[in-house]
Structures are given as structure tokens and as C-alpha cells.
Chains A and B, each alone.
Chain A
């Protein structure tokens, strides 16, 4: 155990020495997944979002997905999700039914983010209170265009931000 730790320290030191030998400029980040093309980045983003919504739908039907819906979120999107869960818990609300993606349009792709417009249809979902009564807000927007930002991570793209879009792509 001690030998291994010494070995690890040695490797780290060697790495630091190797970096020290450079001209001082920071090493380029190696974690960014290089997408060969914009289409590839958009395809990866769409796959991520569909997997996220699938996980969300599975959780609503009390099936624990292999990867929880929250595992697809980070940053502001994660914060928003936690806030929404707090409200749902406070109100004793449960969402049932499935959300559907009815449109996905890649917007822009850079080395560290992918942006897309997504149309999400919530018409098949209902909100139930603690007694099982339907308390679905009658005036909720069931077809919402969201502008979604994805960022790369070790486990693929993650949803970092999600907000109502200025432009609608919903039919």
C-alpha cells in the first residue's frame, strides 16, 4: 500500500516536473470530446436529451432507470430541477404520464458546449396531489420550446441550462 502510494506520488511529481519544463502555458484540456462535425455534436446532444426524458418518464412510472434523470443534469439545470422537486414535495404533488420530445434542432456547437432548441410536449402528463386528485394547472403550457445548453463531461454530454426559448420550434 505504502509502495503504491509512493509510486503515485512519484508519478505526480514526474508529471509536475514535465509540466515545469514547458514554457509555463497551461496544458490543453483533454476532457473535451472532439466531435468530428457539428452534425455529430447535435446527434450526441439529441441522444443525451432523449435519454434524459426517457429516464424522467421511467422514474414517473416508478421504474428506476440505470442512469437517473438527474445524472444527466449539471449547473443551472440541476439547480432548477432540485428547486422544482422541492416545490413538488412541498405541495405533495406527483407527476404521472410521459413527456415527449416533438422537435429537436441543433443551434450551435463549440468545443465546450452544444446548444439546441427542443420542443417538449407535456400533454400526456398529469399532476396529482397527495390524495391522488388531479391538480394539473389548467393553464400550463403543454408544448414548450426550450433552449438547452449541453456541456461535455467524462460521462458524455450533460444538460447545463434549460430555459424557455425566444423562438418556438413547436408545431
Chain B
């Protein structure tokens, strides 16, 4: 097996995108094919990189080294062999017709989601949500070659839990980081219209690219990673002008 793999690796290195005969289910149409975008597919939540190589049985060329594929036998030259027969009573077993396919999958990390005020919101006032996702480079192997997939966050889709959603180009930042006063609108904030407990979530839209060592190739579409479960208790706040504190006047408004 090692002999076969060795024979195939060079082809993979030179042509990692070569479809050859066979491969896993990478989405592809005539347009992506023309643009050379076919051997990388995007399932929506991960990037799949597939490769394949074909070693026909005709004119097998056994490698010169000895590997676990079987004992090598002395011979004058590989070109003298025809099929399994060799001159001089020596035999070299021909390699079978082999197609190797390999697939490496890459999943981006989930974003983090926080908010302010922490876990609480006020009806009619902006609640600020902040998501964090960074560029990631994940290394894997395909036919023993390094493949690097890069995920770059390009969009953040917030679902605020009350049916409202918003897509922002950034994950947002805290009011203090934005040098804004508390409860002021931010690019990622949301105003809840009613009381209740809501579970907000954020989906990061990553653009992906893959590198086989010859430069970055874009992966069509976006890859999504979602974090959910940030609970927000939204309360109403009423203000009233009072003359004494609740301790001084427990029957006062709001006490």
C-alpha cells in the first residue's frame, strides 16, 4: 500500500484539484469547474477538501524502494516487464487498478456571545450584544500533504430571540469600547418591545479559503457557525418622582 501511496503523492502535490475518476460529493457545476473551484466543497457548516488519484493497472511501474506492498524481486529494468511476467524467471506483481480518494473536513470554531447589561435588558432601550470570532487557520492533511483552511469572519447574524434578527459586518463591541453611553444604540444592539426571557444567538458567516502550498483558493459560499443560548431577561423600568426612599416610605410609588 505504501508503494501505491508513494506513486500517487506526486500527482496530488502537482494537482490537488484534479478530479480524475472519482471523488467525494463535492458540489460542482460547469461554472465552478471552469474557475477551478471544484474539489473544495462547502456544506454550510464545514469545508470539505477532497482529492483523488487513479493508478491504472496497465504498465505498472513498481517503485525502486522496497515497501510493505510485497517483496521486491530482482529485475533488469521495469520497462522489460509485461504484466506479471518478467524475463529471466523473475516476476513482479502488477499493481491493481486503484483509485484513492481522501477527504478532509474543517469546521470553524463557534463564536462567543455576551451582552450588556449582563443577562438583562430593559424594554424600549437598546440591549447590546457582542459576538467574538477571529480568523482561524486550521491545518489538516490530504494524502499526507498539509492542507490549510482559513476562515475569515465576514458577517454576524444575530437572532435576538424575540423573532427579530440583524446581520452586522462586525461582532460589535461594548459601550465603553465604543466610547458610548450605556443603553445607546450600537451596530449590534436590539430594543426589546416586551418583557420576558429571550435566548439570543449569533451565527458567524465565515468566508473560507484553502491552501495546498501554492496560494489561497477561495471556497464558494459561506460557512456558518452558530452559538446560541445567551439568555436575556428583559424587564420594564418605570420611573417616578418621589420625595422619600422606599425605606423611609414603604408605601411610596414603585416600593
Contact = CB atoms under 8 A, between A and B. Distances in A.
Partners in one complex: yes
Interface of A: 53, 56, 76-77, 79-88, 90-91, 93, 95, 97, 99, 120, 122, 125, 127, 136-137, 139-146, 159, 161-168, 170
Contact of A90 (B21, B22, B24, B218): B218
A87 to B, nearest CB: 5
Interface string B34-62: 11111101100000001000000000000
Interface of B: 14-39, 41-42, 50, 217-222
The 6 closest A-B pairs by CB, nearest first: A137-B36, A140-B36, A83-B221, A168-B21, A83-B220, A141-B19
Contacts of B218: 87, 90-91
A84 B39 contact: no
A150 to B, nearest CB: 13
Contact of A93 (B17, B22, B29, B35): B35
18 contacts: A56-B30, A77-B27, A79-B221, A80-B32, A84-B32, A84-B35, A120-B30, A122-B30, A122-B33, A127-B36, A140-B33, A140-B36, A141-B18, A144-B33, A162-B27, A163-B41, A164-B19, A164-B23
B220 A84 contact: yes
Given A81-B29, A120-B33, A163-B28, A144 B221 contact: no
A113 B219 CA distance: 28
A29 to B, nearest CB: 27
Nearest to B30: A99
A163 B39 contact: no
Contact of B26 (A77, A95, A164): A164
B17 A141 contact: yes
A56 B31 contact: yes
A169 to B, nearest CB: 9
Contacts of A97: 34
A168 B16 contact: no
A87 B28 CA distance: 14
Contact of A164 (B15, B31, B34, B39): B39
Contacts of A162: 27-29
Contact of A127 (B16, B29, B34, B220): B34
Nearest to A118: B30
A88 B221 contact: no
B17 A95 contact: no
A81 B35 CA distance: 12
A167 B30 contact: no
Given A99-B34, A164-B38, A84 B29 contact: yes
A53 B27 contact: no
A122 B19 CA distance: 13
Contacts of B28: 80, 144, 146, 162-164
Contacts of A125: 34
A170 B23 CA distance: 14
A95 B35 contact: yes
